[in-house]
Structure 1
Amino acid sequence: MSKRHLPLASAALDTLAGEGRSLRFWWRDDDARTVTPDLERLLGLAKAHDLPLAVAAIADGAEAALAERIADEDGVRVLVHGYAHANHAPAGAKRAEFGDHRPGDAMAAEIAAAKARLEALFGGRLLPAFVPPWNRIGEAARALLPSLGLPVVSVYGPARAAGPGLPAELNTHLDVMDWRAMRGLSPAEADRLLAGLIEARATADAGGATEPIGLLTHHLQHDEAAWHLVEAVVALCASHRAGAWPALRDLVDARRVPGCGRA
């Protein structure tokens, strides 16, 4: 199914495999608070393909049932997905919870509270990475993260180099949703985007040092088109010999700011 629906991406991976090369992938799903049928479907897909899955959980409203459900899912880890997923942007601005329009002290308090809440729920399954809602974060909030025990930030798009004292980025690059239409991307569009990502990474670096390609999903928002696309993407990239899926802790640890603890 995946090769039929994603022929360009499949061909790009075949080329890499023929050269004895591979690319790294990772998977982040946003907006978890509790156990739902959609979450079960997400977990089932990850387990069926034996893939690591990063669940970005919203601290405010996160339920113990969520922690209990994923406790025995070996490949699942949790990231801090903001505090309440609340929009604080002024009227007319793009939605953001941690934009530069907010006082730094208020944002620091919420980030610290979010981390503490999720640590209490998930323990060692929580990784020290911050996922700002809507993939937007202001410079002030970004600068706060390492001192709050969150040396990695995950947004959408190519990673920018981390300056002194700033968090490193572990980003996503293929969103399966067409948010304007509120439906899944067409297989043809997703195929074009994924093939472009694979080819760009292969061209940039043959040694595997480039950032991994990140798949972004939102289990609560998916229609059937989005679910079928997720299945096609993970089936292709999980089964292909040119696809590698490192452990999530290894990906996060590799990007730590020197001197920031393992929190």
Structure 2
Amino acid sequence: MFNWLMPVRTVLDEAEKPVRLFFRDDDAGWVNDRLYLLLDEFAYAGMPIDVAVIPRAINHHLVDELLLRWQQGRHLIGLHQHGYGHLNHESAGRRCEFGGSRSKTQQKVDISKGQVMLRAAFGNALEPHFTPPWNRCTAKTVECLEELDFHLLSKDVTAAQLESSKLKQVPVHIDWSKILKTSPTPLVTLGEAIAAHIGCNAVTGIMLHHANMDAESLKPLAELLAVLVGHSNTQGIRLRDTLGYGTECKQSEKLPML
């Protein structure tokens, strides 16, 4: 048993019903050799993962590799759209591809072009979900997604809440790479954050960025996956499976600072 994961194990042991969680990896199309290593870890563990694909970053090798993995285990991998080109269009403030400086028309053109590209590449393997680069977007983005028949939007739980009567919004709660980069005790902080969220959320989302994860830094992830799949109180799900579930704990509740 890995000491940093003791809080996670404790929550799983004490949970009155199965703990549901999903993993979302962003930026498919960049540093794809590391993406494949990450997917190997999930395939080995038998844990599902959703992959957010940048339309303008795809190539034939990436498409073939992801389709092969999807065909081999459709219940274990989901593919969806990650913006269009993952480009920052803001001249000031936080980076954003679909931010306040862009009109609805500009946003819709990019989202639509990306949707067409990914549908042509992945066919039925592509799911009608959208993750905005840098995990934030605007109300105009939501309108575009509704009009383009997307069903689900996934961004960071700390991002501004956006109203929608058609679009299911499923946030991620844990930024794996950010914690490892910024915490003086990264694994301890990571274990505590995961335990806190799975203890109070109906569904907990964990965000990964494979580009930041070499073979050595995949080891803690492998340790977490081993604990999760080895416990009868864990239910690893896909983004599409979150429809119908919500987030029970409030941002105001005391959770570890990320």
TM bin (shorter chain): 0.7 to 0.9
Please give the secondary structure, in 1, of the residue aligned with 2:155. Answer: coil
Percent identity of paired positions between Structure 1 and Structure 2: 26
Offset of residue 225 of structure 1: 6.3
Cα contact 1:183–1:225 (8 A) shared by 2: no
Structure 1 gap ranges (5+): 202-209, 256-263
Residues 83 and 185 of structure 1: CA distance in aligned 2, closer, same or farther (over 3 Å): farther
After TM superposition, the structure 1 = structure 2 runs for residues 149-160 of structure 1, keeping only pairs within 5 Å, are 149-157=149-157
Q: Deviations over 1:12-64 (max 9, x none)?
A: 11111xx4x11111111000116732122111111011122111010012112
Please give the secondary structure, in 1, of the residue aligned with 2:141. Answer: helix
Give the structure 1 partner of residue 33 of structure 2: 37
How many equivalent residue pairs? Answer: 240
Cα distance in 2 between the residues matched to 1:8 and 1:180: 17
Offset of residue 96 of structure 1: 0.1
Give the structure 1 partner of residue 255 of structure 2: none
Cα distance in 1 between the residues matched to 2:237 and 2:197: 18
The reply to whether residue 24 of structure 1 matches residue 50 of structure 2 is no
Instruction: State the AA in 2 paired with 1:86.
Output: L
Offset of residue 230 of structure 1: 1.7
Cα distance in 2 between the residues matched to 1:180 and 1:194: 13
Structure 2 gap ranges (5+): 246-258
Give the structure 2 partner of residue 219 of structure 1: 210
Cα contact 1:146–1:152 (8 A) shared by 2: no
Please give the secondary structure, in 1, of the residue aligned with 2:55. Answer: coil
Please give the secondary structure, in 2, of the residue aligned with 1:28. Answer: strand
State the TM-score, normalizing by the size of structure 2: 0.84
Q: Would you identify which runs of 4 or more consecutive aligned residues in structure 1 move more than 6 Å?
A: 158-162, 182-185
Cα distance in 2 between the residues matched to 1:87 and 1:234: 33
Please give the secondary structure, in 1, of the residue aligned with 2:200. Answer: helix
After TM superposition, the structure 1 = structure 2 runs for residues 1-263 of structure 1, keeping only pairs within 5 Å, are 1=1, 3-16=2-15, 19=16, 21-33=17-29, 36-73=32-69, 74=73, 75-91=76-92, 93-157=93-157, 163-178=163-178, 181=181, 186-201=186-201, 210=202, 212-223=203-214, 226-251=217-242, 254=244
Cα contact 1:152–1:168 (8 A) shared by 2: yes
Q: CA RMSD in A?
A: 2.5
Q: Deviations over 1:196-247 (max 9, x none)?
A: 112223xxxxxxxx3x111111101125664222222222222211110234
Cα distance in 1 between the residues matched to 2:158 and 2:100: 21
